[in-house]
Structure 1
Amino acid sequence: MAKVIITPRSYGMFNPEVFTIWKDEGYEVIRKTGPLPEEELAELIKDADALVVGTDRVSKRVLDTAGKLKLISKYGVGTDNIDKEFAELKGIAVVNTPGVNTEAVADYAFGLMLSLARHIVKSHHDLIEKGKWEKTVGLELYGKKLGLLGFGAIGSAVARRAKGFNMDVIAYDPFPNHTLATELGVTFADLETVLQESDVVSMHLPLMPETKNLISRTQLSVMKKHCLLINTARGGVVDETALYEAMKEGEIGGAALDVFQEEPPLKSPLFALDNVILTSHNASASVEAIQRMTMQSTENVLRFFNTMEKV
């Protein structure tokens, strides 16, 4: 009987029948709600055959203890929390669930744009916490220029939503999909041009050495003073210290972040600013996305071991 460790917090939340599937297929399932400390995860996977993992850090230290682990099935898209290189050296396959949260994250990114542009969150807190009943003047998104950093599945989904707001969309992507851009009326440009011309900049790039701190003080300094920065990608793509300094100096209009360099960001200086919206890595958390992530991460494991049995 193969042993599977499952750690994502929301796994099976909206389709609990998945545990019956595991039982019927003859798997032993150990369910632990993550993210787990490295020591605990290392102990758990010592004799596991597969790991279904969310945001837990699967480091070399953790993988070193894995005696018979054959597969890591990422519950989600980004695999930057997994030491894939070391996993491959140990003969451990790493797979993810592409496309499962595209619409959820695109919705959320657009929601952050609207909330930030119209100061919706601030107005709510002013009324509830301070008893203020006053007009808060914001910006319209309709007809503005949206800059996308990353034009993959999520970036292009945001572009589709922007069409309904008659926004002029420009994008930076190292590997541009010109066919899709033409279909959606999107123009490609270099990074500096996108930053200089956009009223809103939305991040949709993976975290890798080339994108770490891609947005730092130099890049922030060329943006329009009213520009809004949205990050639902990965925290490390934006230098948060530089962002704080730029917003404190009034160099950009505001920022909405769902991801951070360190999570949770317990002592971030961004907390002291009024022109920010900060949320807890929540963009992919829709009922539909959770259902898709649950089933696809499960199917990845079942398919992998079924294939092995046939070889």
Structure 2
Amino acid sequence: MKFVIIEPLGVQDEKLLSMAKDALKDSVEIVYYNTRTADTQELIERGKDADIIAVSNLPLNSEVIEGCKNLKMLSVAFTGVDHIAMETCKKNGVVVCNCAGYSTAAVADLVFGMLITLYRNVIPCDKVTREEGTKDGLVGFELEGKKFGVVGTGAIGMRTAIIAKAFGCDVYAYSRTKKDVVGIKYVSLDGIMSTCDIISLHTPMNAETKHLINKENIALMKKNAVLINTARGGVVDSEALAVALNEERIAGACIDVFETEPPIKKDHPLLMAKNTLVTPHIAFATKEALVKRAEIVFDNVVCYLADNPQNVM
């Protein structure tokens, strides 16, 4: 059986292969490609003989899945699978497993890193200090006492909520599945949008969540409100959010994800919006998280080979 790691997974090559061999022993032939390509034909060439493929965020469209004739299982080194042709996988009987949980701490960390950076004017403060300036006009805000809304209370959303409580925030939540946690009040999405000073998004990207945050509910936000998106870019109507920011109807936004993977074109509306802090989809990307992710990738394969697949999507 052939196992192809079709792209780098963010762990140093020698360590990654050592982890793979330790986990899988001699149960599979391991082939590793340490370069990225988005070219459909090249991806088919890499995976055409593979029984199992590990992939991070390279787009595996229907043509790629169809071209990998032997493919039986995908171990996706990501939480979301919106870059995978899931319907084609289902049609072809390909088992798809994700890496839920690897980035819970990392993503929640970035939520508060970005928020405090924006709230306390860290970037302009750094700039003015280097230019022999002062704090004039750069006095910021603190988190204690703010109404903090979490949209989606899976593992990452719940960790974010707990950290917000530790900062002294009043925590509100909206989610399809409610959890009984002391200090977290579940309300409607409109309730989150109209009530909260800070709104942090933690939902998957699917047909139901596309533009979940849109012109209509952005209009409900308070003038002092900040929106944070470390989930998926398509969850937010970027044009509508940019308009609200530029018209100063809301106070700011922290954006780590866009409709496409970076590089993001310079004319993207959120790159030109006022009071917006942007990062190139780095929420999941810590040294620790990437090692955790690789461990889950290989454990997924081990479980699949033992006829006990885990993290099945």
CA 1:271–1:145 in 2, change beyond 3 Å: closer, same or farther?
same
User: 1:64-75 residue pairs with structure 2 within 5 A?
Assistant: 64-75=66-77
Aligned partner of 2:226 in structure 1 is: 228
Aligned partner of 1:6 in structure 2 is: 6
1:138 Cα deviation (Å)? 1.5
TM-score, normalization by structure 1: 0.91
SS in 1 for 2:243: helix
SS in 2 for 1:47: coil
1:77 Cα deviation (Å)? 1.1
CA deviation string 1:59-83 (max 9, x = no partner):
1111110110111001021111111
2:45 to 43, 46, 51: 43
Q: Distance in 2 between matches of 1:122 and 1:42?
A: 47
CA deviation string 1:135-158 (max 9, x = no partner):
112211111110111111111101
Aligned partner of 1:99 in structure 2 is: 101
1:91 Cα deviation (Å)? 1.2
Q: Distance in 2 between matches of 1:271 and 1:242?
A: 13
Runs of 4+ in 1 over 2 A off after TM superposition: 11-17, 19-26, 32-39, 121-128, 269-274, 305-308
TM-score, normalization by structure 2: 0.90
**C-alpha contact 1:202 1:229 (8 A) present in aligned 2:** yes
**C-alpha contact 1:117 1:228 (8 A) present in aligned 2:** no
Aligned partner of 1:252 in structure 2 is: 250
1:36 Cα deviation (Å)? 2.8
Q: Distance in 1 between matches of 2:124 and 2:8?
A: 32
Aligned partner of 1:266 in structure 2 is: 265
SS in 1 for 2:48: helix
**C-alpha contact 1:35 1:54 (8 A) present in aligned 2:** no
1:23 Cα deviation (Å)? 7.7
Q: Which runs of 5+ in 1 are unaligned?
A: none
**C-alpha contact 1:121 1:277 (8 A) present in aligned 2:** no
- Letter paired with 1:157: R
- Letter paired with 2:186: F
User: 1:166-245 residue pairs with structure 2 within 5 A?
Assistant: 166-177=168-179, 179=180, 181-182=181-182, 185-245=183-243
Q: 188-197 or 42-51: which moved more?
A: 42-51
CA RMSD in angstroms comes to: 2.0
**C-alpha contact 1:14 1:287 (8 A) present in aligned 2:** no
1:276 Cα deviation (Å)? 0.9
**C-alpha contact 1:256 1:277 (8 A) present in aligned 2:** yes
SS in 2 for 1:88: helix
Q: Distance in 2 between matches of 1:186 and 1:249?
A: 32
Q: Distance in 1 between matches of 2:84 and 2:132?
A: 46
Q: Percent identity?
A: 35
1:108 paired with 2:110, answer yes
